[in-house]
């Protein structure tokens, strides 16, 4: 089984797939903007709608008319500010997640691949005490790669031959297609997807669906 663990990977998107942290993120962004004189207030609904995008894409959506360098600096500041409350208090994990991770980690390689900012995945690990179940992680800000590139990167550096990507948006689906791995849609999350290799109505269904792939 150890050999299977080394060569079989379950790679996860984060927001809308493993947790919903928007109710913590929005106040952190608003406080950063207030203290830095930025006249903008964010709602949890906006945050959820942007999940899956890269930081520059989020900056463009939040400040479409602003100078790109300025708006990206603002979103970088907001992104950094969110990590403190998330690392301290965590976010809302989807029901049953911890039990599923513990079960899957016995036989599979688990990793998070997200387009989030620096420190965000680490905050997820520490704030919710789930880091022990993951073998690796990667994000776009650290590597400069898109999600598909980071899926391939995690597979290559860990010698993984087989993988599946679990996510909740069409962007996640496209990344899996580009990376050449099967895609499972977390339909309880933020987005709608057509043509997935499997559909999860709740995270607790993941072990059974994996057995059918």
Query: pLDDT digit string (tens) for 8-23?
Result: 799 999 999 999 999 9
| CATH 3.40.50.1000-classified regions of the chain | 2-20+92-212
Instruction: Tell me: pLDDT of 6 over 60.
Output: no
Above 50 in pLDDT, residue 42?
yes
78 pLDDT band, cuts 50/70/90, is very high
In the prediction, which pLDDT does 117 show? 87
Q: Report H helices in 51-157.
A: 55-62, 68-89, 97-105, 120-128, 140-143, 147-157
- pLDDT, tens digit, for every residue of 24-37? 999 999 999 999 99
What pLDDT sits at residue 3?
Answer: 45
- Once rounded to an integer, what is the mean pLDDT over residues 48-76? 94
7 pLDDT above the threshold of 60: no
The tokens for 140 are 């776009």
Across the chain, where does the E strand assignment appear? 8-12, 19-20, 92-93, 109-114, 136-139, 162-167, 183-186, 198-200
The yes/no answer on whether domain 22-89 falls in CATH 3.40.1000 is: no
Mean pLDDT along residues 180-205: 96
pLDDT exceeds 80 at position 38: yes
pLDDT of residue 141: 87
- Give tens-digit pLDDT for 113-139: 999 989 999 999 999 999 999 999 999
Radius of gyration of the chain (CA): 17
| Mean pLDDT of the residues in the chain | 94
Question: Among the CATH numbers 3.40.50.450, 3.20.20.70, 3.40.50.1000, 3.40.30.10, which is that of 2-20+92-212?
Answer: 3.40.50.1000
What per-residue confidence (pLDDT) applies to 5? 56
Q: Where in the chain is the domain with CATH 1.10.150?
A: 22-89
Cβ–Cβ under 8 Å, residues 19 and 124: yes
pTM, rounded to two decimals: 0.91
Whether residue 85 is predicted with pLDDT greater than 60 in this model: the reply is: yes
Distance of CA 18 to the CA centre of its chain: 7
């Amino acid at each position: 089984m150890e050999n299977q663990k080394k060569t079989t990977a379950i790679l996860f998107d984060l927001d809308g797939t493993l947790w919903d942290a928007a109710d913590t993120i929005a106040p952190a962004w608003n406080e950063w903007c207030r203290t830095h004189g930025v006249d903008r207030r964010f709602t949890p609904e906006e945050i959820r709608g942007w999940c899956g995008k890269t930081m520059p894409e989020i900056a463009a959506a939040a400040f479409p008319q602003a100078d790109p360098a300025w708006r990206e600096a603002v979103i970088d500041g907001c992104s950094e500010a969110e990590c403190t409350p998330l690392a301290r208090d965590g976010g809302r994990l989807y029901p049953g997640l911890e039990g599923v991770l513990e079960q899957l980690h016995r036989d599979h390689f688990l990793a998070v691949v997200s387009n989030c900012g620096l420190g965000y995945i680490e905050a997820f690990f520490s704030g919710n005490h789930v880091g022990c179940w993951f073998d690796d992680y990667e994000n776009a800000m650290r590597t400069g790669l898109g999600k598909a590139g980071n899926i391939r990167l995690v597979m290559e550096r860990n010698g993984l031959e087989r993988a599946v990507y679990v996510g909740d948006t069409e962007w996640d689906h496209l990344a899996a297609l580009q990376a050449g791995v099967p895609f499972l849609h977390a339909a309880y999350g933020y987005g709608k997807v057509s043509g997935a290799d499997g559909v999860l109505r709740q995270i607790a269904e993941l072990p059974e669906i994996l057995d059918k792939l």
